[in-house]
Amino acid sequence: MRAFATAALTGAGIEGAEIDADLLIGHVLGQSRGQVQAGAFMGTALSDTDAAAIVALVQRREKREPLQHITGRAPFRGLELNVGPGVFVPRPETEGVAQLAIDALRSMADPEPIGVDLGTGSGAIALALATEVPHARVYACENSADAFPWTSRNFTEVAAENATLVFADLAGAFTELNGTVAVVVSNPPYIPADAIPRDPEVRLFDPAHALFGGPDGLDIVRLVSQTGLRLLRPGGALIIEHGELQGAEIRALLDADGWRATATHRDLTTRDRSTTALRP
């Protein structure tokens, strides 16, 4: 079954087909990748019911339905998040963006530094901040009615007492925190409206609300800049995720808005992935 699943997914053009095959089989059998591989090596027989269930999942993945939609779970740093139709699936490169925000929070002298995640989606960044910087207070907002049930479920499941979630537009969120926040982080929609995402998983399944940021892709980034200036105290840090070709334009935007020390950072694939700045 493992060889069949790997071959089918390879034929569908899926990178890492063997990994996806293991994870789909493991999802049905309740096993880890190592257990799946050991079972295949030993020739462990599957029941007809399990074999049929695996074939059905492989067929869904062949149509480029995201693996995380099929399993209902997405790993993010030390978390396992609930995801599905309507919510953006967190990507590995965003783990590095979260690390920048975590490092910034940890560097603050505040006894309880405040972190804010604008447009939290699945809650990935906010919950990473809350669980990895337990002395911080973390606030997150999301304005998509389709995404918010997933966000709420993740906040409930993680049950971080220092994390607060609200349904709100980021531009007007958390006015009670104005001038007190240590770190603002956001992974906003940043794809230009006329661009076509390359990957079928993104193009066919990710919500447009989480992808497209207006004609030049920066409409929401502009809102994040203004909201960050409102929320952050002097010396507070802003972290924005963006596309690999947008670093220079976002630095110019932030410089024009009055931010200082703007800098763009690469992800593990050496692509520009995020830009940081400090509140004057």
Binding residues for S-adenosyl-L-methionine: 119-123, 142, 187
- Buried residues in 269-280 as b, exposed as e (16+ CB within 10 A): eeebbbbbbbbe
Task: Provide the token pair at 34.
Answer: 């190592």
153, 82 contact by CB (below 8 A):
yes
C-alpha to C-alpha distance for 272 and 270, rounded to whole angstroms: 7
C-alpha to C-alpha distance for 237 and 265, rounded to whole angstroms: 14
Q: Which residues are annotated as a binding site?
A: 119-123, 142, 187-190
233, 279 contact by CB (below 8 A):
yes
Q: Which residues are annotated as a binding site for substrate?
A: 187-190
146, 209 contact by CB (below 8 A):
yes
C-alpha to C-alpha distance for 144 and 224, rounded to whole angstroms: 16
